[in-house]
Amino acid sequence: MKHLIFACLAAIALLAACKTTTDTANPAADDLWANRDTTISPGDDFFMHANGGWIKNNPIPASESGWGIGHLVNEELYRRKLAINEKSVKENAAPGTVSRKIANFWKAAMDTVRINKVGVAALQADMNQIDAAQTPLDLVALAGELARKGTGSLFGYYITQDDKNATKMVFRLYQGGINMPNRDYYFDTDSKTIAVRTAYKDYLLQSLRRLGMNEATAAATATEVYALETRLAQASRKLADLRDPYKNYNKMAIGDLQKQTPALEWAKWLQKANMKGVDTVIVGQPEFFAALNKELMSTPLPVWKAYLKFCHLSDNARYLDDATYMESFTYTKAITGVAEPRPRWKRALDSEEGAMGEVLGQLFVKEYFPETAKKRYSDMVETVRDAYKKRIEALTWMSDSTKAFALDKLAKMKKKVGYPDKWKDFSALQITDTSYVANMQAAAAWWSDYNANKLGKPVDLDEWEMTPQTYNAYYNPSLNEIVMPAGIFAVPGKRDEEIDDAWAYGNVAASTIGHEITHGFDDQGRQYDAAGNLKNWWTKQDEAEFSKRAQGIIRQFNEFVPVDTLHVNGEATQGENIADLGGMLLGLDAFKQTETYKQGKAINGLTALQRFFLGWAFAWMNQIRPEQLATRLKTDVHAPAKERVNGPVVNIPDWYEAFGVKQGAKMYRPDSLRVSIW
């Protein structure tokens, strides 16, 4: 995925610019010109050269963990979605209509008087059920029922395509059960991790008190719950170990899984979660489920009850009273570094997006994504696809037989641009104007049932996993498709026709289109064939050559130390880093075919080639709090924004040419160390 995210140039670069004709626009209105910090040489820190002026003038708001291009786009999206909600409330449309669902959701989410009056009692019926559990098997069944309502516990699961048979939808199980961001938070000893761990223990204790335990009982129980989670974390795989699709694919009959994990009564869990007809399961990490089974048999039932109550409260805290929410927020401050919550109206829109974003999206695209924009970027996909075709054909390290498979996969890769051709039917989703938390649970149940209904059905080739208003994009290996919502093409304060080709090709063709296409051929994507099946189509020699080249990008990113002593995890982030490098090369190749590049005109003294690379940097313009940066280094398969800009460019000769970067510059990388894959 792309993101869940200024000025004297060197003398030689100025001379290069003098060789071109110049279009003089209004420099202040040209973001690529205005955002730079020209006190920083491009060859010393290209990210800060390109974005430093903007970063200096735009501090991170107190309510945010970071601030950058994605946030600016989302600010516009917030305003647009707010207008849609307020308009829906005024319309007072007929029950069951899209407009009425939006209006009801909005009124319930913004009714703070009612929400604060009810408090945690909104969850009391569920808590009573947990209290009534007599055995661990009862608790497992309740976990299934609560999972359908949106509460995560015990383990992760989802309905997806079978990696080895992409025409079939299957039930998949994954490690989970812990409430900190990932397993490393239970063991690492750096200062930021310790701070998160301390805050989490405090939050766990506060939550148990809020649920009615006295001080002594809450303290003792919190210690036991934390110890339980630590044992589950110990049995969990590390981030990099989750990248191998073969090692995380263990298919078995549900009956065989039951024999291996007798404390987990799968038939009852599936019944309560409303998952019907599950006879086969793909288990991602069998050792985790063995450990979970052991804990269910050995950990006292009262500890499990407290654990499940905490999971339920924690996952719903955002929809409850202010005091409960603030306890949750205080814990997350240690993870994100934010000083204050977002305003309620933004939090309500975030919840609405997760609950029924596609309902909102139907109104959004009518207002904000014209057909001209859809055509521009749909055509751009084909230009980038053609560039990749030529690159594959020209590779000297890949055999003809592997090239044939690669070219076939590329040709068959489906594109989805802007918004779905058909919308999901949300008519069965009941949204009232009386209970925020009940609406969120109803939406979670709708989504759970919607996904469960896919079992045994043909794969829906037209489905989207993101809403049109999302500022992101993705590649789906099982469908061999790239999906780019309308939101990803937005530039804050600009109409699409105001974005020149150099900027558009750096910002979109490279960082989005080329990036997502390259995911089909990164360390994970390359293991899937044109039909979306996990199938090796590489010769052993070609596979070895790819792995050798990928090791180069792993080593390069391992060198980066973005905060304190924490390094980028080159192994875990290699797929995104390969996609960034490939995307930049493809975007550049495609841009060189445009009239803008061939005419060689400069804008505000910036050559077309410079504007392309500045457009790439613009796509990752972002600053982030140290706490959140530390969290992402442990949990995210993407490198931080600065490294995503500076990492790829040093491998591309055109960047050195565009900015006159010579040996001696801080970022200069000799030919022998430059990474070349695609």
With tokens 């501090």, the residue in question is 59
How far apart (Å, rounded) are the C-alpha atoms in residues 280 and 265?
A: 15
Residue 555's closest CA among 566, 568, 542? 568
Task: Look up residue 210 and give its amino acid.
Answer: R
Query: Which residues have CB under 8 Å from 465's CB, separation 6+?
Result: 474, 476, 483
Pairing state between β 602-603 and 165-174: unpaired
Token reading at 58: 């735009």
Q: Which CATH architecture has domain 11-76+351-420+464-673?
A: 3-Layer(aba) Sandwich (3.40)
Would you place residue 1 in the very low, low, confident or very high pLDDT band (cuts 50, 70, 90)? low
Q: How far apart (Å, rounded) are the C-alpha atoms in residues 41 and 8?
A: 9
Q: At what angle do helices 574-591 and 608-619 cross, to 10 degrees?
A: 150
Q: Which pTM value belongs to this model? A: 0.91
Is the model's pLDDT at 122 over the cut of 70? Answer: yes
> Which residue is associated with the tokens 């107190």?
62
C-alpha of 610 from chain center: 29
- Per-residue confidence (pLDDT) for residue 18, from 0 to 100: 30
The predicted pLDDT at position 28 comes to: 75
**The pLDDT of residue 8 is above 70:** no
The b-or-e profile of 153-186 (16+ CB within 10 A means b, else e) is: bbbbbebbbbbbebeebbbbbbbbbbbbbbbbbb
pLDDT tens, position by position, 309-360: 999 999 999 999 999 999 999 999 999 999 999 999 999 999 999 999 998 8
Min mean pLDDT across 107-116, 491-500, 624-633 is at 491-500
> How many other CB atoms are found less than 10 A from the CB of residue 255?
13
Q: Estimate to the nearest angstrom the gap between the alpha carbon of 1 and the chain centroid.
A: 6
User: Strand 481-485 relative to strand 414-418: parallel, antiparallel, unpaired?
Assistant: parallel
pLDDT above 70: residue 21 = no
- Spell out where 398-440 has E strands: 414-418
**Cα dist. 135→144, 315, 406 in Å?**
15, 24, 54
Half-sphere exposure of 59 (CA within 13 A, CB side): 4
Contact 110, 344 (CB under 8 A): yes
The shares of helix, strand and coil residues in the chain, as percent rounded to the nearest 5, are: 60, 10, 35
Q: 125 exposed, middle or buried (CB, 10 Å; 0-12, 13-18, 19+)? A: exposed
CA distances from 234 to 178, 244, 245, 282, 290 (A): 10, 19, 21, 21, 12
Confidence (pLDDT) at 23: 53
Question: Given this model, what pLDDT does residue 141 score?
Answer: 97
* 644: region left, alpha or beta (phi > 0 left; psi from -120 to 50 alpha): alpha
Domain limits of the chain?
11-76+351-420+464-673, 117-336
**What would the pLDDT profile of 398-446 be if each residue is shown by its tens digit?**
999 999 999 999 999 999 999 999 999 999 999 999 999 999 999 999 9
Whole-number Å distance between alpha carbons of 168 and 178: 30
CA-to-CA distance for 16 and 234, rounded, in angstroms? 57
pLDDT of residue 496: 83
* Range list of H helices, 491-593: 501-504, 515-519, 540-558, 574-591
Backbone phi, psi, residue 47, to 5°: -55, -50
d(CA 65, CA 56): 16
The H or E element that residue 201 is part of is helix 191-210
What would the pLDDT profile of 556-603 be if each residue is shown by its tens digit? 999 999 999 999 999 999 999 999 999 999 999 999 999 999 999 999
User: Within 10 Å of residue 87's Cβ, how many Cβ atoms?
Assistant: 13
Q: Which helix (H) or strand (E) holds 220?
A: helix 215-234
Res 303: pLDDT: 98
Cβ 496 vs Cβ 577: under 8 Å: no
> Which residues pair with residue 160 across a beta bridge?
170
List the one residue out of 538, 69, 146 whose CA is nearest residue 312: 146
Q: What is the pLDDT of residue 622?
A: 97
**Cα–Cα dist 332/330, whole Å:** 6
The two tokens of residue 657 are 């040419």
The whole-number average pLDDT for the span 122-140 is 97
Higher pLDDT, 151 or 4: 151
Centroid of chain to Cα 512: 13
Query: Six-digit token pair at 536?
Result: 């090796």
For residues 470 and 485, is the Cβ–Cβ distance under 8 A?
A: yes
Which residues neighbour 53 within 8 Å (Cβ) at sequence distance 6 or greater?
Answer: 6, 7, 34, 35, 36, 37, 38
Amino acid in the structure at residue 297: M
- Which amino acid, 440? M
Class of domain 117-336: mainly alpha
Residue 210 has what pLDDT? Answer: 97
Q: Among 25-39, 459-473, 556-570, which is the least confidently predicted range?
A: 25-39
pLDDT per residue as tens digits for the range 523-567: 999 999 999 999 999 999 999 999 999 999 999 999 999 999 999
How far CA 637 is from CA of 3, 133, 161, 512, 642, in Å, comes to 10, 39, 22, 16, 15
Helices (H) and strands (E) in the chain, counts: 28, 11
For residue 159, the cross-strand partners are 171
Q: What's the pLDDT tens digit per position in 184-243?
A: 999 999 999 999 999 999 999 999 999 999 999 999 999 999 999 999 999 999 999 999
**Helix, strand, or coil here: 296?**
helix
Q: Which residue has the higher pLDDT, 469 or 14?
A: 469
User: What is the pLDDT at residue 20?
Assistant: 36
Q: Where are the alpha helices (DSSP H) in 92-159?
A: 98-109, 112-118, 124-132, 136-148
| pLDDT for residue 22 is more than 50 | no
Give the type of residue at 678.
W
The CA-to-CA distance between both ends of the chain, in Å, stands at: 18
Give the total residue count for the chain. 678
Question: Sign of the CA dihedral 38, 40, 44, 49?
Answer: negative
Give Rg (Cα) of the chain: 26
Residues 506, 612: Cα–Cα separation, whole Å:
5
Q: With pLDDT > 90 as the criterion, what percentage of the chain qualifies?
A: 90
Predicted confidence (pLDDT) per residue in 38-81, tens digit? 999 999 999 999 999 999 999 999 999 999 999 998 998 899 89
DSSP letter for 8, please: P
Q: Which residues of 451-464 are buried (b: 16+ CB within 10 A; e: fewer)?
A: bbebbeeebeeeeb
